[in-house]
Structure 1
Amino acid sequence: MGTKTAAILFTACLLLSACTATKPESAATSNQQDSAASDSSNSAKDQSNVSSPKSSSKQAGSDDHNSAGKTNAQNDKTSESNETGAATSATSATTNNKMYHLDKAYNVIPNQQGTEKKVVLLTFDDGPKEAAMINKIIDVLDKHKAKAIFFVNGYRVKEHPELLKLIHDRGQPIGNHSWDHIVLKNKSEPEVKKQIETVQKAVKDITGQAPVFFRPPHGAGGDVGRKVAKENGLLYMTWSVGSLDWTMKKNQPNKTEALLKNVTEQLHPGSNILMHELPWTAEALDSILTRLEQKGYQFVDPQGIEVPAS
């Protein structure tokens, strides 16, 4: 009996040992499965936190709109690409360091919060005319550390290419004001293309740089003018404040006071001020810019304004 009992006890011990040895292995397997399930669940959660291409691109489009300050027309153009997941416009705007854009009324608008709002854009149309007058205008601009767009006509550039080079060499931006200063809005597309593109070529041939700003003569470019300008990488604009210097006569008294009144009565943050290469405007310019500074305005550098991709 003692031997049998010992054998039975020995066998029972062996069975008990085998059972307890298998339990940890089973638990480890279960833990691994739980861990895998947990990893899978976390991975799914991580994936759910990443927006789909469509929703991500919509957010990018929204950010692009907020940071780059696109106009509605530009947003219409980019909305389709934004919905497919392309988010390059904001990056491009940041890279190019464009601080402003023009709204539908051609006012200068900051792209981001914190950018100076109380600015004006200075522009001069219908040149280049005379070296002495150009130098006088630019001397005043330099005095006030200001830049202005000089919108030139092609026929004047052809007559005096040295005057165009003078403007360029003195560091002022040059804009396209068509070849003949005609009303473009009722012209055919081939004629409008000729009016705009011949100026683009002439300016580039003389200065090495094609204009990026376009102002239609008389402020009337029409849909075709806008289309051709855009195709040539030109920012189309008219103005939001007119100096009315073009209505004045040589023998009219007190032209400086009249110009000051015309500008300041319409003045507002972002004003796009239209002036011309005229003797009385050159004479009054220092007073005008001084008055603007006294009112707390700064002069926006046109190079900081968004333009279409060429």
Structure 2
Amino acid sequence: MGTKTAAILLTACLLLSACTAAKPESAATSNNQTQATSETSDNTDKGQGTASSPTNSSEQAGSNHGNNSTAQTTPQTGKTVADSNEATNSTATVNKTYHLDKAYNVVPNQQGAEKKVVLLTFDDGPKEAVMINKIIDILDKHKAKAIFFVNGYRVKEHPELLKLIHDRRQPIGNHSWDHIVLKNKSEAEVKKQIESVQKIVEETTGQTPVFFRPPHGAGGDVGRKVAKENGLLYMTWSVGSLDWTMKKSQPNKTDAILKNVTEQLHPGSNILMHELPWTTEALDSLLTRLEQKGYQFVDPQSIEVPAS
């Protein structure tokens, strides 16, 4: 009887010892899981959860640079103001504060609107993601918008570049399909040149352009007619940067662009530029100079367009 009791007591002691040894391992596992969850949460809050690597991809470049702010426009001046607190996919409502006169200058619709404004435009794209991103980086720095007048054949070759411009919240204009002189073409040919661009831009971005600039500033009466039928505001320009006349080897191109624009500058200037390397290099200095002269950058959305 004494032997059985001793055996039972020995077995109980062994079981108790095993249970006591298992508890620290279980607790350690639980603590490690909690710490891992906490670190993951901390990294997510600090933006460290996902690593990104540099890329030359147009689509990825657009995403990396893209919609970190939503542009709002003051109805009185049309000057854009970035508001990073708003949702990035919202669309600002902009009053139609301005119209274009017969010389394609930007003119206020009523008293009290800022007169000392300029409209920024870039023709003949889209060309290169690096250049587009640099231009838009500078525009964003100055809280400015510009119309990017695109050619259809370029969009067909690189639709991702058009999407880049759209995703970075810059207005897109129609510059015809082939960049040809339209004024002597038939109405059927002009319709094809203009409406094909409307179609491909809508297919790529979900929106159709509302601004049209004929190549070489030569659209003729038929160009005006077809533009109006498509709800497009026809325009050429009132200030030329003359960047298109410059050669790669020409020295001091930045100074030349600044001189060309500022010598012609006046309230309501509709400034023609192009997607060119030297224009991109001159842009920050140019916009700074315009601001120093008291000019503001009109939001193209605040300009009246015809009903189709």
| TM-score in terms of structure 1 length | 0.69
Shift of 1:114: 0.4
For 1:309 and 1:300, locate their aligned partners in 2 and report how far apart those are by CA, in whole Å. 21
- Helix, strand or coil at the partner of 2:271: strand
Question: Which AA in structure 2 matches 1:108?
Answer: V
**Aligned residue pair count:** 216
Equivalence for 1:263? 261
Equivalence for 1:151? 149
After superposition, the C-alpha distances for 1:53-78 in whole angstroms (9 at most, x for unaligned) are xxxxxxxxxxxxxxxxxxxxxxxxxx
Q: Which structure 2 residues correspond to residues 34-73 of structure 1 after superposition, within 5 A?
A: none
Equivalence for 1:306? 304
After superposition, the C-alpha distances for 1:273-302 in whole angstroms (9 at most, x for unaligned) are 000000000000000000000000000000
Larger relative helix fraction: 1
Q: What 5-or-longer segments of structure 1 have no aligned partner?
A: 1-94
Q: What 5-or-longer segments of structure 2 have no aligned partner?
A: 1-92
- 1:138 matches 2:136: yes
Equivalence for 1:102? 100
Equivalence for 2:110? 112
Question: Which AA in structure 1 matches 2:285?
Answer: S
For 2:95 and 2:245, locate their aligned partners in 1 and report how far apart those are by CA, in whole Å. 38
| TM-score in terms of structure 2 length | 0.70
Q: Which structure 2 residues correspond to residues 1-310 of structure 1 after superposition, within 5 A?
A: 97-310=95-308
After superposition, the C-alpha distances for 1:73-114 in whole angstroms (9 at most, x for unaligned) are xxxxxxxxxxxxxxxxxxxxxx97200000000000000000
- RMSD of the TM alignment (CA)? 0.9
For 2:198 and 2:283, locate their aligned partners in 1 and report how far apart those are by CA, in whole Å. 28
After superposition, the C-alpha distances for 1:246-298 in whole angstroms (9 at most, x for unaligned) are 00010111011000000000000000000000000000000000000000000
For 1:252 and 1:134, locate their aligned partners in 2 and report how far apart those are by CA, in whole Å. 22
After superposition, the C-alpha distances for 1:161-191 in whole angstroms (9 at most, x for unaligned) are 0000000000000000000000000000000
For 1:136 and 1:146, locate their aligned partners in 2 and report how far apart those are by CA, in whole Å. 13
For 1:290 and 1:121, locate their aligned partners in 2 and report how far apart those are by CA, in whole Å. 15
Question: Which AA in structure 2 matches 1:287?
Answer: S
- Helix, strand or coil at the partner of 1:125: strand
Equivalence for 2:22? none
Shift of 1:308: 0.6
For 1:247 and 1:156, locate their aligned partners in 2 and report how far apart those are by CA, in whole Å. 21
Q: Highest CA radius of gyration, 1 or 2?
A: 1
Question: Which AA in structure 2 matches 1:158?
Answer: K
Q: Percent same amino acid at aligned positions?
A: 91
- On the 8 A contact 2:94/2:301 being kept in 1, the answer is no
For 1:238 and 1:136, locate their aligned partners in 2 and report how far apart those are by CA, in whole Å. 25
For 2:177 and 2:276, locate their aligned partners in 1 and report how far apart those are by CA, in whole Å. 19
